[in-house]
Amino acid sequence: MDRKDTPTARLKSLRIALFLVGNFGSFSLAHAAGITAATSSEESNNPVNVGEVSRSTEHIMTNKERQLKKADTLLTKKKVFKSTQSELFLNKKNKLYVSPVGGAAQLLTMAPGVHIMSQNPATGVGRDTITINGMGIGWWSGITYRNQIMALFDGIPMNNQTSNDGQWNTSQIPILGLIHGVNLIYGPGNPDNRWYDSLGGTINYVPVQPTAKANATVGLSYGSNNSATTYFRANTGLIDGWATVFGGGYTTSNSPTTPYTFPEHGWAAYLKTAHVFNRGFAAFGFYMEKTLSGHSFQIPVTPVSGYTVNGDNVPGEPYSQATSGFYSVVSPNLWYKYDEVDSYLLYAKQGYQFSRYAEMKNKLWYRYAHRLHQAYFGYYAANKNPETIEHYNPSDGTFGDKADISVRIPHNLVEFGGFFSDQRYHTTISLYNPILGTSQNDPYAFNNDVLTSVFADLYLQDTIHFLHNRLRITPGLAEASFNTTMANLGTPSTPSLIDNTLTPSASTTFARLEPSLGINYRITHHVAFYGNYATTYQNPTDLAYGAYLPSTSIQSDKIQLTKNEDYEAGLRYLSKTLDININYYHDFLTNLLNGVFGSGLGSFNNTGFSLGNAVYNGVNIAASWEPIYNAHIFGSANIQHSYYTKDFSSSGASFAGYSLSGIPKYSFTVGASYKMMVPGGVLIPRIVDHYYAAQTLFDNVTGGPTHLSTVPYNLLNLSLSYKTYLLNRILPGVKGAILTLSGYNILGRQYESAEGISTGYQAPTPVIFAYPGAPAQVFFSATLKF
């Protein structure tokens, strides 16, 4: 055996890797010095003997490695090919085309049907909205349908169960270096993978996993807007049946706005340890993050009467993209907002194989999340506006468990189980102006509500195999239940203050059956047809219970669940070099909560919000081809038509037939890479181009969509990577390095990341306001592997 591959040498390499990331502290792994037993060849799964190892020991280690692999839930091409639901995965290859300072949202742009809107698209720390086939998650004031996607971390829920504006923040995953890949389910899917917010889909961010062999990676990048990101991750390898992975990262950047920039910061830490044994595994995980991002208010696209760079009706240069500059913002002394998000997640996973025919899995978790919004709205008459300063400080804690049992019988895989999730959400806000004698403790307006929710689900599904496993049919049935109570905690101190929630309390209990049916038929060895139908329900957000409604009292019997009837059908082709997926989807949503406040109009059911119906339908195409061993070509496309069948404005006007806002009518991505042997390593140029067609604008004045559209745009990105072994001789323990120079939006397109119609702060007439997209950016990155 090569002395360089001894346990002592591997341990030395790991120590050196951790030393190079001194900012993250020191870690002692001396207990790993006694690693003995078989390791796996990088080229095959055959064991490589270390000294005298008995056959029984070889068998135990191989089995432990197999059990350890079960803790890694990232999908594979073969699993997707056989699936009865519409799904795909993104892995480390896709990450190579994303900005090194990008976060959770940017990675998803590599999937078809995904669109991102952002307040600061230059980094992964700003607040984004993700839409998948038109259905959204994240935050954006111009999108009312933003709570329809479930976000998971390592299969554990991250969503707030009831918040309208804080269901999930994309900034909660700011460091992509800690992410192994993403599993993406389009539509509700089968019951075993469905959660309380899986109405339009499920995103599972799979972090780096414990591995059988010790290894470590260090990465850093620097570039435009003074952006910098650094991260590390390390694996101990299997030690007496235990394997642990841990890591952390930090990112910082300035916004590309001028003449004032807003700094952004974020960090994350992660640890997962797994114990494997002959018939199963037990894993324990911890994830924690904190981000802080700032931004100015939206920029008028064209001049507004009275709006200048110095304030409303203050002499100065007219303030708009057309006059003061595309990326211009006013001074923070006139307007600013800082958003802080921090959360942590503790979880445990267990898997046990009772026999070759029966298996059990369980997940137990606790999640805490906190947000702090601090804003100053002094652009318009700060001495007259009683709500000049905002202090918004919501938090939530969630405890839950999910158990699944699967039993194999001839031609059947029967699965049953369920989950429950118990959350307490406390939402507080103070609006005040010291000039007018109010303060945070004695504000002009406030909100102080607590929402307690218990969501549960029981399911049964059976995957039936026919025709030598060529035909799979998966009928399923779930019972979803939702119990929610909102309590208004009342005034903080001064009885004359404005309570932003009029309703004293509201409570609901719902239970619904959710039938589903999936099918996969392998037509030939390489071609498969699949289809999926599911009816699912979702509990409405806090708006439905009266939160933040200062003039409307909610009637609990008027609150309704949102319902989705989802149809998916498609074709898959899979070979060693070519992978193609074509998918058609059709979703019909009823009782869609739009949050449009009314005044007792019949169309609003006297509840203070609008309930609309909408159709989402379209086609997704994804393809990946390796024509020769060193070339890779890929592409994806989405064409869709999503529109309201019923919706009303605050004055009762109908929006039926209007396209939903913020959804491109079509989009596509094409890219390629090529590997070339050069002295000292491999040179890899990459190119990818994203194109987004027009999307309709949302009108915050009427509370609905319009027939006005955005301007289409494309973003061309290039990178050049040098994968080399030359540093192996310079830095002890290094087993490889990747140096990358990358450029994003290299054509310098001036595009709007998000825009909508509003009166802003007392604009005389409604105008278009926008957040500009990121300009051309350049980064240098270095990755060292140990």
Rounded Cα distance between 206 and 94, Å, is 14
Residue 28: pLDDT band by 50, 70, 90 thresholds? very low
pLDDT above 60: residue 7: no
- Beta bridge partners of residue 674, listed in sequence order: 631
pLDDT in tens, 322-360: 999 999 999 998 988 899 999 999 999 999 999 999 999
Which three-class secondary structure string do you get for 630-661?
CEEEEEEEEEEEEEEEECECCCCCECCCCECC
User: What pLDDT, on a 0 to 100 scale, did the predictor assign at position 31?
Assistant: 33
Looking at residue 97, the DSSP 8-state letter turns out to be T
- Rounded to the nearest 5 percent, the helix, strand and coil shares of the chain are 10, 50, 35
pLDDT band at 599, cuts 50/70/90?
Answer: very low
- Reported as a single tens digit per residue, the pLDDT across 692-723 is 999 999 887 777 888 999 999 999 999 999 99
Which pLDDT value is given to residue 496?
58
**179: number of Cβ within 10 Å:** 23
Q: How far is Cα 667 from Cα 541, in angstroms, rounded to an integer?
A: 30
- The 10 Å Cβ neighbour count of residue 577 is 11
Domain boundaries, the chain: 77-785
Query: 777: which strand partners?
Result: 744
**How much is the pLDDT for 710?**
92
- Model confidence pLDDT, tens digit, residues 457-511: 999 999 999 999 999 999 999 999 999 999 988 765 556 577 777 778 889 999 9
Within 10 angstroms of residue 432's Cβ, the number of other Cβ atoms is: 23
Q: What is the mean pLDDT of the chain?
A: 86
**34-38, 252-256, 322-326: the lowest-pLDDT one:** 34-38
| Residue 760 confidence (pLDDT) | 66
Whether residue 318 is preceded by a cis peptide bond, meaning omega within 30 degrees of 0, is no
Rounded average pLDDT over 231-249: 95
What does the angle CA 500 – CA 503 – CA 508 come to, to the nearest 5 degrees? 125
758 DSSP β-pair partners: 767
DSSP state of 467: T
CA within 13 Å, CB half, 238: 24
Q: Taking the CA of residue 227 as centre, how many other CA atoms within 13 Å lie in the half-sphere pointing to its CB? A: 23
Query: Over 70: is that where the pLDDT of 786 sits?
Result: yes
User: Could you tell me where the beta strands, DSSP code E, fall in 387-504?
Assistant: 389-392, 395-409, 412-432, 445-466, 471-488, 498-499
| pLDDT computed for residue 45 by the predictor | 37
Instruction: Please tell me the predicted confidence (pLDDT) of residue 156.
Output: 97
Percent of the chain with pLDDT over 90: 63
Domain 77-785 has CATH 2.40.170.20: yes
* Maximum mean pLDDT: which of 447-461, 590-604, 690-704: 447-461
Beta strands 445-466 and 395-409 are unpaired
Residue 654, both tokens: 């109908």
- For residue 333, the SS3 value is coil
CA separation for the pair 554, 113 (Å, rounded): 36
Give me 194's structure tokens: 């469905």
Residue 759 has pLDDT above 80, yes or no: no
CA dihedral 74, 80, 83, 86 (to 10 degrees): 90
Asked if 53 and 37 touch (Cβ cutoff 8 Å), the reply is yes
Residue where the block lists tokens 């940017």: 106
Among 30-39, 435-444, 499-508, the least confident range: 30-39
**Picking from 151-160, 312-321, 363-372, 489-498, which range would have the lowest pLDDT averaged per residue?**
489-498
Structure tokens at 208: 């780096």
* Cα–Cα separations (whole angstroms), residue 642 to 561, 613, 660: 21, 11, 6
